[in-house]
Amino acid sequence: MCEKKSYYNPEIDTCIQKFVERIKRLTPFKTLCSCCGHGKYPTTVVIKDKQGNVFELFSRLPLGEKKRNSYYQSDKNGFYFIPKVERLRKASNFINKRIKSLEERLERNPESKRFQGKLAAYNEIMIILPEMI
Ligand SMILES: [Zn+2]
């Protein structure tokens, strides 16, 4: 984690510089912009493949073509995040909590068809969630 810079600063955050340089050097992807998240958000790197598809590296979310750095939005404290990535993260956290609680209920009640059905449904939602965001 490093100190945050002003919005639209094209420099790579120092703490992820080596990582981003490795992506540039070792993969066929072009890195468009990135942010370490500065302890508030997960690290994000926006990359473009040879076919021109733009997506965020860690979440694998497709982002589409945008003007440089306009992938990010600033929150009221000046921290940058990618709205789509943030929506996925929040939805994943929510569903993972539901899954955990259902698993606990199933431990106490292993025969419950209702809990089994709900758990299967939530697990399916997790798989298709990136496409629903
Ligand atoms: Zn940093």
Measured from the Cβ of residue 63, the count of other Cβ atoms closer than 10 Å reads: 20
pLDDT of 29: 95
Cα 19 to ligand 1 centre (Å) = 12
- Cα Dmax for the chain: 56
Task: Tell me the mean pLDDT in the region 6-18.
Answer: 81
Ligand 1 centroid to 62 CA: how many Å?
A: 24
Structure tokens at 61: 């979310």
As a whole number, mean pLDDT of residues 80-89 equals 96
pLDDT at 6: 66
CA distances (Å), 56 to each of 3, 43, 45, 79, 128, in order? Answer: 22, 10, 6, 18, 17
pLDDT surpasses 90 at 122 = yes
DSSP E strand boundaries for the chain: 30-35, 44-48, 54-56, 73-74, 80-81
Residue 74 Cα to ligand 1 middle (Å): 16
68 pLDDT exceeds 80?
no
The rounded percent of the chain whose pLDDT value lies above 90 is: 80
Average pLDDT over every residue of 30-41: 93
The answer to whether 95 and 129 have CB atoms below 8 angstroms apart is yes
User: 129 CA to middle of ligand 1, Å?
Assistant: 28
User: What letter does residue 30 receive in the DSSP assignment?
Assistant: E
pLDDT at residue 56 in the model: 96
In the structure, ligand 1 is a single-atom ion and the residues with CB under 5 Å from it are: 1-2, 13, 15, 36
Using the mean position of ligand 1's atoms as its centre, give its distance from the Cα of residue 104 in Å. Answer: 37
The pLDDT > 70 percentage for the chain reads 95
pLDDT category, 95, cuts 50, 70, 90? very high
* pLDDT, position 9: 67
